[in-house]
C-alpha cells in the first residue's frame, strides 16, 4: 500500500539523531508546511495529540486553526455568531 523510506544509519549518525527523532522532525515539518493534517502528522510521529502539540510548541510551530475551524467549532457547540 504505502512506501517506506530507508535512511542509512550513517546519515542518522552524522545528524546525531535516532530514526524516531528524524521521523518526528519530518512529521513536524510536513505539518508546519500544511502538507499533513494534525492527525496525519501525529500518527507519522507515533505520538498522541497532546505529545505532538508539545513537540510543535518546542519548535515554535503554531497549530493551524483557521476562521473556518472556529466557525465549525461554534456550530458544533450550537453557538450563534
**Grid cell of 45 as nine digits:** 510521529
**Residues 10-23: tens digit of each pLDDT:** 999 999 999 999 99
Helices 19-32 + 49-58 axis angle, to 10 = 80
DSSP for 41-78 reads HHHHHT--HHHHHHHHHHTTPPP---HHHHHHHHHHTT
**Residues 22-80: tens digit of each pLDDT:** 999 999 999 999 999 999 999 999 999 999 999 999 999 999 888 887 888 888 888 65
For the chain, give every domain's residue range: 9-76
Amino acid at each position: 500500500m504505502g512506501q517506506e523510506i530507508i535512511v542509512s544509519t550513517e546519515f542518522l549518525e552524522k545528524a546525531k539523531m535516532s530514526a524516531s527523532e528524524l521521523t518526528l522532525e519530518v512529521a513536524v515539518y510536513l505539518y508546519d508546511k500544511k502538507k499533513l493534517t494534525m492527525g496525519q502528522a501525529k500518527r507519522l510521529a507515533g505520538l498522541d495529540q497532546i505529545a505532538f502539540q508539545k513537540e510543535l510548541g518546542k519548535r515554535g510551530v503554531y497549530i493551524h486553526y483557521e476562521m473556518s475551524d472556529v466557525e465549525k467549532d461554534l456550530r458544533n457547540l450550537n453557538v450563534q455568531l
